[in-house]
Amino acid sequence: MTNVTTDYCIDVIRKFEVSEENKAKNVLGIEGFTNFMRSPACDIFNPLHHEVYQDMDQPLCHYYIASSHNTYLTGDQLLSQSKADMYARVLQEGCRCVEVDCWDGPDGEPVVHHGYTLTSKILFRDVVETINKHAFVKNEFPVILSIENHCSVQQQRKIAQYLKGIFRDKLDLSSVDAGETKQLPSPQSLKGKILVKGKKLPYHLGDDAEEGEVSDEDSADEIEDECKFKLHYCPCPHGETQPPPASAGDLPTLAGKLFPLFNSSQNNGTTEHQVESFIRKKLESLLKESQIRDKEDPDSFTVRALLKATHEGLNAHLKQHPDVKESGKKTHGRSLMTNFGKHKKTTKSRSKSYSADEEEDTQQNPGKETGQLYRLGRRRKTMKLCRELSDLVVYTNSVAAQDIVDDGTTGNVLSFSETRAHQVVQQKSEQFMIYNQKQLTRIYPSAYRIDSSNFNPLPYWNAGCQLVALNYQSEGRMMQLNRAKFKTNGNCGYVLKPQQMCKGTFNPFSGDPLPANPKKQFILKVISGQQLPKPPDSMFGDRGEIIDPFVEVEIIGLPVDCCKDQTRVVDDNGKIIISVHF
């Protein structure tokens, strides 16, 4: 500590000294000193950073923005509950970008849930009301509402109606000044505002067009290659389409190359509800058994292992119920279709895959609200978007991940899964950095993280990505990094990127990324270790075992700066080696 005054020392004695005699003598005893060292007053965190201290007048793309993935979920990505209260929780934690997955619901009311899974559904209206109530309780800096739109045009209009009716002037950006240059507005100019991130109608459509087709790539890519649950309905004998029963819900299938697993006739003894119950129990069991929290490698636990076990269980279940016939042919019943295993992410396999039934249905029903388009030689899904919802998107237009990160257009938000983003970061880090100097990029977890584990956000922050979305419901090392990142600047959810990342060329993965900047050395001295826990379930009971403690210090940042060291261990001593310098 520097510039310590006598008054400050007297105040420390008054607050932390336990002996009245020492207080009278203005002396700090060992107990008082220990209390002082363990108090927030000695926290390494700069107390001035508990308030907003950074320049908040720069473009949005110059800030890291605290972001949440599938905000509504309370647990895993397959079976957990969806709750509107989760939005209140993450917003009050400082998160400034929340995600809402919108689907058609009953009675014309859009719902929010993780599509094609067994997660519960909540009303979109309840979500918007919760966000409106809690968005600016902790601070007034803007909230980005990332909408994944899977709704029909009719329910899209209902979504737009709720957004305008509940948020009111929070959506009005007419007074926002983005400056004379074509750049994004600043957090300061957007105080108290909610930005809708979503699709926008193409500019070539006239203003009088009430709806139009847009690509559905970013929404669909997040679901592609993963565990997707839905019930596929085949035509009935008389050419009618069998409607979904109210109790059937969503049954398992995987996106990608689909093939029939089994078919059940209308008269068999095993109902869809029984099959769903079986699958749910199996998945719950596997999720509980898996110890995969906070795995940085998305392949450390893939869907393949879980679904292989589920596949074996289903086969055993079918043998016990011979009335459920296994077949690879299209029949007149309901088909539960699935593809097990992770397919390779080649250029060809990334294109949207459709079952033969879906392609035939598309040809027979040209009036469907989803279609296909070709882009860069790939077949892409499209969807219809209504004008009312499109007009609410101003500075945050969702666009799909591109093969080549180009300069793009200010106002576009590029979306990558962590897998695709990792490839771009490794292969085009400098180009990616330049892109992120003018536009926003959102990174979301791999679809294989069905347990809602989190990836390491650091490489994407190092590449200048602003919206690195994590599963806030999952505690662990990655959320600790996220909280540490955004604790500074008053925990307002916006942290200014280093100047070198905001202009010019910068390669974060270079051996000497800042050759013109002087190097700094960080020196740390270990003086004590307090309140060290005994091993749980010790064979010595309450006495516990003798522990061999050590202190580990880690610096996390650019690859060239990352390092880790620890104090020496003395076997069966129970004490930390102190007065050690790193």
**Looking at the structure, do residues 69 and 176 belong to the same domain, yes or no?**
yes
CA distance 388 to 503: 36
DSSP 447: T
**Looking at the structure, do residues 101 and 210 belong to the same domain, yes or no?**
yes
Of 491, 495, 485, 444, the residue nearest 92 (C-alpha): 491
Q: What is the pLDDT of residue 181?
A: 54
**Looking at the structure, do residues 367 and 459 belong to the same domain, yes or no?**
yes
Q: Which domain holds residue 472?
A: 60-222+363-502
| H/E stretch holding 350 | helix 347-350
**Looking at the structure, do residues 469 and 388 belong to the same domain, yes or no?**
yes
**Looking at the structure, do residues 379 and 447 belong to the same domain, yes or no?**
yes
Lowest pLDDT segment from 409-418, 519-528, 571-580: 571-580
Lowest pLDDT segment from 64-78, 113-127, 202-216: 202-216
Of 227, 337, 323, 331, the residue nearest 274 (C-alpha): 323
Structural domains of the chain, count: 4
207-221 average pLDDT score: 72
pLDDT digits (tens, 9 = 90+) for 428-461: 888 899 999 999 999 999 988 988 999 999 999 9
Residue 107: phi, psi to the nearest 5? 60, 25
% of the chain exceeding 90 in pLDDT: 44
Query: Which band of pLDDT confidence, cut at 50, 70 and 90, is reported for residue 513?
Result: confident
* Contact criterion met (CB below 8 Å) for 324 and 293: no
Q: What is the pLDDT of residue 221?
A: 46
In a domain, 570, yes or no: yes
Q: Which residue has the tokens 């042919």?
A: 329
Lowest pLDDT segment from 322-331, 521-530, 540-549: 322-331
Q: Do the strands 194-197 and 143-149 form a parallel or antiparallel pair, or are they unpaired? A: parallel
% of the chain exceeding 70 in pLDDT: 65
pLDDT digits (tens, 9 = 90+) for 134-192: 999 999 999 999 999 999 999 999 999 999 999 999 999 887 765 555 789 999 999 99
**Looking at the structure, do residues 368 and 435 belong to the same domain, yes or no?**
yes
* Contact criterion met (CB below 8 Å) for 249 and 276: yes
| H/E stretch holding 487 | helix 477-487
Active site residues: 69, 113
In a domain, 425, yes or no: yes
**Looking at the structure, do residues 230 and 285 belong to the same domain, yes or no?**
yes
CA distance 58 to 131: 25
In a domain, 356, yes or no: no
**Looking at the structure, do residues 491 and 530 belong to the same domain, yes or no?**
no
**Looking at the structure, do residues 215 and 231 belong to the same domain, yes or no?**
no
**Looking at the structure, do residues 336 and 462 belong to the same domain, yes or no?**
no
Q: Which residue has the tokens 């559904």?
A: 121
In a domain, 512, yes or no: no
**Looking at the structure, do residues 64 and 188 belong to the same domain, yes or no?**
yes
Task: For 367-397, give the secondary structure using H, E and C.
Answer: CCCEEEEEECCEEEEEEEEEHHHHCCCCCCE
CA distance 582 to 268: 71
Of 401, 400, 409, the residue nearest 438 (C-alpha): 409
CA distance 431 to 436: 9
